[in-house]
């Protein structure tokens, strides 16, 4: 009987040990699954930052990703949607396949999207990255915010027209690495052409809003001019080193210039948070682009009437910060000498900066940010036009003159925008 009791006790211990082992195994498995899910969500969070989702899907003063931001386009106003996990007003009821349809193919479960949502670039996102991005988007807390309808006149309010637009202008090709380029350049191409969607702002558009073949050569956008990113030294990045590009995307300023306008948000919300490896990859890609030659105009002579009045105004209004010769202060006040942004064929950004003033991006690398006060309250249109014409045709620069009517048009647009805000 003692033997039987001993035998039963051993069996009970063995069973208990097996059960304990099974429970321990399952616990470790659950932790591994949780860890894998957490890692996927973190990868997705990084991809959302690279894609700058927050900037467009968050209204001023609104909850993150809850939509409501009005995007001004040549065809009317498009209001960004709510992409939180709210099931009624957001995308909480969507599946991965429906998310894929919207992000990479421009079609939500109920309608075609306009290319203000850059699906024409996001089509380059890989399946794995899309799944990671969806895993993160699903964790965004729900916000009930029913976004108002777009303000598009006829016929642009007919979404079915996007079927034809997509046939004409939407290149559905996935990202394909260039085997003749390094892994670093290919990584940069993937980011620039896809997630960062640089061409959405910096590539010239045709009359229908489709990309032209002038990739990254600059274009007008919401009253600003998205500058030339090609490798030419007069208006583009030809005079920038790879380190200059990295510094600009990380800090918002470098030895050539300081960010302003819409690029401020891009740097604050997106590029400053990228890894060093990804910033280096983006820089390597831009420096790998072919050299481009542009026709440099002949500068206006110093004796030109507008140049003479502009020179006098520059000394009074601008030289205290930018120095009399336009040299500025390195990494603080941008130099105006041989500056591609100054040489841009379109002066919209320069006019906006002078009229509005500007606050550069606040970044971890440059927590104070560059700033310039507004001169719109102080100077007349012809005074601003004279100053900008002088800057654009001296100090090693050469660009078309700025007219008082150019400044007046920009001033009216700013006044109208401020009236809406108030």
Task: Please enumerate, by residue number, every residue annotated as part of a binding site for heme c.
Answer: 53, 56-57, 198, 201-202, 318, 321-322
H helix or E strand, kind and range, residue 112: none
Residues 6+ apart with CB under 8 A from 126: 174, 175
Q: Which of 98, 96, 103 is nearest to 131 (CA)?
A: 96
Helix (H) or strand (E) holding 191: none
Report the sign of the C-alpha dihedral through residues 165, 168, 169, 173, in that order: positive
Binding-site residues from annotation: 53, 56-57, 198, 201-202, 318, 321-322
Structure tokens at 365: 């690398």
> Rounded to an integer, what distance in angstroms lies between the CA atom of residue 285 and that of residue 393?
31
Q: Smallest Cα–Cα separation from 166: which of 111, 100, 103, 115?
A: 115
Of residues 389, 421, 422, the one with CA closest to residue 405: 389
CA distances from 390 to 242, 315, 393, 409 (A): 30, 11, 5, 20
Q: What are 145's two structure tokens? A: 């915010």
Q: Residue 356: exposed, middle, or buried by beta-carbon count in 10 A (0-12, 13-18, 19+)? A: buried
Report the alpha-carbon distance of residue 370 to residue 197 in Å, rounded: 25
> Tokens for 216?
């990254």
CA 147/CA 124 separation, integer angstroms: 28
231 three-class SS: strand
């Amino acid at each position: 009987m003692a033997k039987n009791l001993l035998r039963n006790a051993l069996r009970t211990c063995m069973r208990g040990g097996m059960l304990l082992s099974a429970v321990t195994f399952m616990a470790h498995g659950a932790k591994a699954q949780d860890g894998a899910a957490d890692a996927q969500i973190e990868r997705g969070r990084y991809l959302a930052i690279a894609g700058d989702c927050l900037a467009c899907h968050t209204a001023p003063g609104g909850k993150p990703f809850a939509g409501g931001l009005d995007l001004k386009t040549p065809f009317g106003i498009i209001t960004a949607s709510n992409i939180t996990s709210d099931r009624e007003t957001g995308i909480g009821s969507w599946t991965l396949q429906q998310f894929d349809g919207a992000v990479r193919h421009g079609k939500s479960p109920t309608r075609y999207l306009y290319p203000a949502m850059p699906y024409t670039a996001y089509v380059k996102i890989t399946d794995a990255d899309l799944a990671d991005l969806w895993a993160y988007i699903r964790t965004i807390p729900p916000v009930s915010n029913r976004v108002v309808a777009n303000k598009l006149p006829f016929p642009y309010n007919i979404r079915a027209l996007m079927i034809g637009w997509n046939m004409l202008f939407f290149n559905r090709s996935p990202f394909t690495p260039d085997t003749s380029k390094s892994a670093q350049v290919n990584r940069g191409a993937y980011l620039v052409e896809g997630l960062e969607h640089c061409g959405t702002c910096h590539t010239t558009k045709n009359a229908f809003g489709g990309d032209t073949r002038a990739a990254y050569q600059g274009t007008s956008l919401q009253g600003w001019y998205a500058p030339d990113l090609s490798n030419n030294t007069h208006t583009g990045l030809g005079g920038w080193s790879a380190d200059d590009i990295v510094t600009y995307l990380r800090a918002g300023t470098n030895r050539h210039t300081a960010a302003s306008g819409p690029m401020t948000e891009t740097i604050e919300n997106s590029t400053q948070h990228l890894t060093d490896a990804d910033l280096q990859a983006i820089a390597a890609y831009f420096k790998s682009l072919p050299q481009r030659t542009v026709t440099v105009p002949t500068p206006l002579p110093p004796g030109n009437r507008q140049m003479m009045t502009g020179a006098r105004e520059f000394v009074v209004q601008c030289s205290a910060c930018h120095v009399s010769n336009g040299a500025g202060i390195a990494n603080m006040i941008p130099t105006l000498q041989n500056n591609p942004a100054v040489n841009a064929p379109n002066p919209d950004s320069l006019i906006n900066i002078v009229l509005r003033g500007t606050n550069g991006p606040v970044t971890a690398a440059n927590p104070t940010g560059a700033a310039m006060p507004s001169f719109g309250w102080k100077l007349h249109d012809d005074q601003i036009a004279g100053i900008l014409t002088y800057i654009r045709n001296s100090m090693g620069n050469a660009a078309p003159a700025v007219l008082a009517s150019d400044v007046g048009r920009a001033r009216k647009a700013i006044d109208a925008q401020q009236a809406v805000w108030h």
